[in-house]
Amino acid sequence: MNHSFHNTIKLEGPPLAKAEGKAIKLEQQILTFLKSRPNKKFTPWEINDTFPDKLIGSIRRALTNLVRDEKQVKDTTGTKEMREERAGSPNYLWYYEVLADEDGQIRLL
């Protein structure tokens, strides 16, 4: 079973359940954000600008989990496409992939 919260701090019981619930909620919020902007690519920092109360590590973890669990959430690690971000650091990009067929009709994967 895949977990959304990566329990590196060894939480147990109700605190672990609460942390898992918060991680799932953030994944759902980011998925909604990406779905509302199909094929537009974002760095984790750009997504963090939409959720400024969240830690950047939590944003990155949620994106990793979405790529793992959602067929249409993609990252650019395979293509090495990156965008320079905070402090001049290159960052990979994440997006919700929507394709069009020959008639220009949008189809979901």
CB 2 within 8 A of CB 69: yes
pTM comes to 0.82
Query: pLDDT grade, residue 11 (50/70/90)?
Result: low
Which of 6-10, 23-27, 81-85, 93-97 is predicted with the least confidence, judged by mean pLDDT?
6-10
- Residues 52-67 have pLDDT tens digits of 999 999 999 999 999 9
| pLDDT, mean over the chain | 87
Q: In order of start, what are the domains of the chain with their CATH numbers?
A: 13-107 (1.10.10.10)
- Calpha distance 72→61 (Å, rounded): 17
Q: What is the 3-state secondary structure (H, E, C) of the chain?
A: CCCCCCCCCCCCHHHHHHHHHHHHHHHHHHHHHHHCCCCCCECHHHHHHHCCCCCHHHHHHHHHHHHHHCCCEEECCCCCCEEECHHHCEEECEEECCEECCCCCEECC
